[in-house]
Amino acid sequence: CWISGQALLGSSRIIFSVLIKNLRERDLQTVRQMEDNVVLLDFWPSSFGMRVRIALAEKGIKYESHEENLLDKSPLLVEMNPVHKLIPVLIHNGKPICESLIILQYIDEVWHDKSPLLPSDPCKRSQARFWADYIDKKIYSIGKRVMMGKGEEQEVAKKELIECLKTLEGELGDKLYFGGETIGLVDVALVPFYTWFYSYETCGNFSIEAECPKLVAWAKRCMERETISKSLPDPHKIYSFVLQLKQKLGK
């Protein structure tokens, strides 16, 4: 898979070189943008991968997606992320960028002329980074405990999850999005977890919408954007995946 991927990239480069020779000067600018080779190493149910899909869609960046099998990691993944061997990894013109929030900031800095994810004011930027970091520290690990836990452990995790989501709801306030009038870093960081809400609720036998209606309303608003809805899988598919995982882990 890796070898044929490399051959494909190689022949693509050859095709591009031929195209360049035959195009007029004013077309060269467009071609140079096309030459931006962007590859995303991804795994379909990963909230972190979803973040990058959304950012790339928002910026209108064309890219190649490689679906990874995390039980049998590709040589490309191991080469591009030798430290963690995790997805997502963005490979831009052969150079890897790892860690989803770092990838989002990289995308925002390189493709800065469209749909900014971060505001220009340093104070507002720091607020966005703070909340993105909060989401990173809390939601994934607590959500996992809600889905995999039992009895008292699960009850504690459910309470913690609702507390976090309520805190985020407080930060959202009356704004349309965390980014204000348009979506920003925090929206992109959080909305992928919305596809996991159904799994949290079903495993934990509770309703997130009942506890955090404003947050769910925000998520539904986000889902009206094609860049988001097309980047996120069906929550029921996520739940099937969770059930398979639970079975494998004997839970």
Partner 1 sequence: VGEKGSHIDLSKMEEVKLFGTCLSPYSYRVIWALKLKGIPYEYIEEDLSNKSPSLLQYNPVHKKIPVFVHGGKPICESLVILEYIEETWPENPLLPSDPHDKAIARFWAKFVDDKGPIIWTMVRTTGEEQEKAKKDTLEMLRTIEEHALVEKKFFCGERIGITDFAFIGVAYWLEAIEDILGLKLLEEDSFPRLHAWIKHFKQEPIIRENLPNREELFAFLKRRREKLLASPLSLTAG
Q: Which residues in this chain contact partner 1 in the complex, by CB under 8 A?
A: 82-83, 92, 95, 97-99, 102-103, 105-106, 109-110, 122-123, 125-127, 129-130, 133-134, 167
Distance of alpha carbon 167 from alpha carbon 159, whole angstroms: 12
62 vs 112, which CB is nearer to partner 1? 112
CB of 89 to partner 1, least distance (A): 11
Q: What is the sign, positive or negative, of the torsion defined by CA atoms of 23, 28, 32, 33?
A: negative
Minimum Å gap between C-beta 103 and partner 1 is: 8
Residue closer to partner 1 by CB (options 169, 201) is: 169
Which residue reads 């071609």 in tokens? 31
CB of 231 to partner 1, least distance (A): 21
**Cβ closest to partner 1, residue 134 vs residue 206:** 134
At its nearest, how many Å lie between partner 1 and the CB of residue 107? 9
Query: Whole-angstrom Cα distance, residue 70 to residue 83?
Result: 15
Name residue 97's beta-bridge partners. Answer: 90
Q: Which is nearer to partner 1, 6 or 126 (CB)?
A: 126
Residue 161: Cβ-neighbour burial (10 angstroms; 0-12, 13-18, 19+)? buried
Residue 146, burial from CB neighbour count under 10 angstroms (0-12, 13-18, 19+): buried
Minimal distance, residue 190 CB to partner 1, in Å: 15
The smaller minimum CB distance to partner 1, of residues 109 and 153, is found at: 109
Q: In DSSP terms, which residues pair with 170 in a beta bridge? A: none
Provide, rounded to whole angstroms, the least separation between the CB of residue 64 and partner 1.
19
Cα–Cα distance list, 137 to 26, 164, 212 (Å): 47, 10, 20
Q: Put the strands of the sheet holding 64-67 in their side by side order.
A: 64-67, 38-42, 89-92, 95-98
Task: Kindly state the smallest distance separating residue 81's Cβ from partner 1, in Å.
Answer: 10
Closer residue to partner 1 in complex, CB, 40/103:
103
Q: Which has the closest alpha carbon to 49: 30, 34, 70? A: 70
121 or 226: whose CB is closer to partner 1?
121
